[in-house]
Chains A and B, each alone.
Chain A
Amino acid sequence: MHVFSKEKHSETAAIQIKGLHKTFGDYKALNNLSLEVKRGEIYGFLGLNGAGKTTTIKTLLGMLKPTAGELYMLDEKVHAGNYKLWNKVGYLEEATFYPDLTTIENLDIARRMQKVSDKESINQVINKLGLEPYKNKKAKHLSLGNKQRLGLAKAIIHNPEILILDEPINGLDPAGVAEIRNMLYDLAKNNDVTIFISSHLLEELSKVATRIGIIHNGCLIKEIEMDNLEQSLQKSLVIDGHDTNAIKTVLKDHSYEFEETKDGPLKLSDNRAVESPEQLAELLVTSNQPPTLLRVITEDLEGYFLRTIGKVRGNQ
């Protein structure tokens, strides 16, 4: 029976957003946004600042009323009056705490507000996040990384089924980022927690998310499985030689499309060049224009993200 119910759970989405619109006066913050996050999935919600990430999350948490559309979490409709739902949801925006209270006192307030009767849950979460040495320290005296850990500890003290994190790695050092990443991965993999994590850094999201949704100007413009991301990255062939004009003539004569880069080398993005660079090398050699540079480069994640939202690096 238990197995059966778990299977049934895994079929239904943990988070469902259907046709969400949100306007502030004349400003359209969200425009017909729909998405689903499956149970146990780590969904990365990617967008530039002002794209609508926080508005989506605040609407998802019942802090903002949708202008149109519906939101469900764990099959329950989200609205400000459905407060019992927060029993199963953990939320972290930025490290917020009561500054004059210690780490333990802050966690005790979170425990009581989450209606967790077991006081041991405080020690468990302190150990899990490595806050043991700082448990009696006032929250305002913690380092940025430890404040963030405290925030995360508060968000998971009640073992939520869904964890919603709005830019949780802002301000963390690389070690802190890696630590949080491993913990999120562990929660999703071993505790079947569904994680919805927003960021404007694809690089960071790509290390933890199983799927990524890209939001731009309030619209969800693309969703991509992380397993397929590598194939979606654009590859190009960069070539250079002693006489660039002569190389250009050879390329034109053989119908290769190319573009000139600012630094001088030529960039070819068509499949023929990328998949068979040795043929092009042979062609250039036989045309008496041996290349001094010939390299296949793969677009980085930032480039992919900017290309997807229709922007070019350097605010062009």
Chain B
Amino acid sequence: MMNIFSVLYCEIRKVCRSKVFWLVFLVFALAPIMMGIGTISSSGPNESSWQMYLSQLLNSLSGLGLIGYTFSAAWVFGREYTDNTIQDLLVKPVSRGNIVMSKMLVILTWDILLSIYMFAIALSIGGFMGLTGWSSALIMNIFIRFFITSLLFIIVSTPGAFLANVSKGYLAPIGLILIIVIFSSVLASMGFASYFPWTIPSVFLGSGFLSFSSILILISTGIAGIAGTFVWWRFAEQQ
């Protein structure tokens, strides 16, 4: 057990001491600020309520989160290849499963922090712009739905980790997720949002409900990403 904590400590340190980690937070602060101000400015004088603001803004932010979550998953694994530290990592008396597990936990923590951070920035902008209709119950309600949506997006970002390992870098998964985001809006407009893994979380954000088939697709995608990564580390050749 101490073994995994030690590996986890190393992974946390590697991420926190990198510039990329802090740069992500900087970039994901700018987006809610600009989108938040834009949302408020474009709404009419009677529409400037917390309810209207958050429901409009969080829809865009949760989608943006998908790019962030995929980036973190891809970077945590992919940087080992681009820095050429992967071979170092494989010749250690630590099971490869523990290394993957530690990396997954670090990614999960990073993503959760990023999601809460984006929500906090959105709240700050709303408060700064003097929105009306504040209610703690309302905010909590909206936050919980946003948070669950973020978790669902985190689940479907795991194939990004797998792809980073297969492609030995973080560029391929980032490229793919950008294509997926574009593809998602097309699929959603065609009415397939409940069946495409990367649009299902948005369905939940809008309705607060998911069908059994959507849940199954979501879980299968997450399991495929996680299991694929574990299997890759255990069995793939590292040329």
Partner of B93, one of A86, A93, A97, A109: A86
Q: Which residues of A contact B6 (CB under 8 A)?
A: 112-113, 115
Q: Are A114 and B93 in contact (CB under 8 A)?
A: yes
Q: Are B91 and A86 in contact (CB under 8 A)?
A: yes
Name, among B7, B18, B90, B234, the residue most crowded by chain A CB atoms within 10 Å (CB to CB). Answer: B90
Question: Is A65 in the interface zone, CB < 8 Å from B?
Answer: yes
Q: Which residues of A contact B234 (CB under 8 A)?
A: 80-81
Q: Which residues of A contact B239 (CB under 8 A)?
A: 58, 63-64
Q: Mark B1-36, 1 if CB is under 8 A from A, else 0.
A: 001001101100110011100000000000000000
Partner of B13, one of A65, A85, A109, A110: A109
Q: Smallest CB–CB gap between B234 and chain A, Å?
A: 7
CB nearest neighbor in A for B16: A100
Given contacts A58-B239, A64-B239, A113-B10, contact A83 B93 (CB under 8 A): yes
Q: Are B237 and A64 in contact (CB under 8 A)?
A: yes
Q: Which residues of B contact A87 (CB under 8 A)?
A: 93
Q: Smallest CB–CB gap between A65 and chain B, Å?
A: 6
Query: Bound state CA distance, A109 and B83, in angstroms?
Result: 15
Q: Are B17 and A101 in contact (CB under 8 A)?
A: yes
Question: Is B235 in the interface zone, CB < 8 Å from A?
Answer: yes
Give the contacts of A35-79 with B (CB-CB under 8 A): 58, 61-65
Q: Which residues of A contact B13 (CB under 8 A)?
A: 101, 105, 109
Q: Smallest CB–CB gap between A297 and chain B, Å?
A: 43
Question: Is B145 in the interface zone, CB < 8 Å from A?
Answer: no
Given contacts A97-B85, A109-B14, contact A61 B7 (CB under 8 A): no
Q: Smallest CB–CB gap between A67 and chain B, Å?
A: 11
Q: Smallest CB–CB gap between B7 and chain A, Å?
A: 7
Give the contacts of A95-146 with B (CB-CB under 8 A): 96-101, 105, 109-110, 112-115
Give the contacts of B127-181 with A (CB-CB under 8 A): none
Name, among B3, B17, B88, B91, the residue most crowded by chain A CB atoms within 10 Å (CB to CB). Answer: B91
Chain A contact residues: helix, strand, loop or mixed:
loop
Interface residues on A, range: 20 to 34
Given contacts A80-B234, A85-B93, contact A99 B83 (CB under 8 A): yes
Q: Are B14 and A83 in contact (CB under 8 A)?
A: no
Question: Is A154 in the interface zone, CB < 8 Å from B?
Answer: yes
CB nearest neighbor in B for A55: B239
Query: Bound state CA distance, A87 and B91, in angstroms?
Result: 9
Question: Is A91 in the interface zone, CB < 8 Å from B?
Answer: yes
Q: Which residues of B contact A100 (CB under 8 A)?
A: 17-19
Q: Mark A154-195, 1 if CB is under 8 A from B, else 0.
A: 100000000000000000000000000000000000000000
Q: Which residues of B contact A97 (CB under 8 A)?
A: 83, 85
Q: Are B10 and A65 in contact (CB under 8 A)?
A: no
Q: Are B87 and A93 in contact (CB under 8 A)?
A: yes
Q: Are A84 and B10 in contact (CB under 8 A)?
A: no
Q: Which residues of A contact B85 (CB under 8 A)?
A: 96-98
Q: Are A83 and B83 in contact (CB under 8 A)?
A: no
Q: Smallest CB–CB gap between A44 and chain B, Å?
A: 21
Question: Is A299 in the interface zone, CB < 8 Å from B?
Answer: no
Q: Provide a sorted-by-A list of 9 A–B residue pairs whose CB atoms are within 8 angstroms.
A: A61-B90, A87-B93, A91-B91, A98-B85, A100-B17, A109-B13, A112-B9, A112-B10, A115-B93
Cβ-closest 6 pairs across A and B: A87-B93, A63-B238, A113-B92, A91-B91, A86-B93, A112-B6
Extra pairs beyond A113-B6, A113-B7 (17, CB < 8 Å): A58-B239, A63-B239, A64-B237, A80-B234, A80-B235, A83-B94, A89-B91, A93-B84, A94-B84, A96-B84, A97-B85, A98-B14, A101-B13, A110-B88, A112-B7, A113-B10, A115-B93
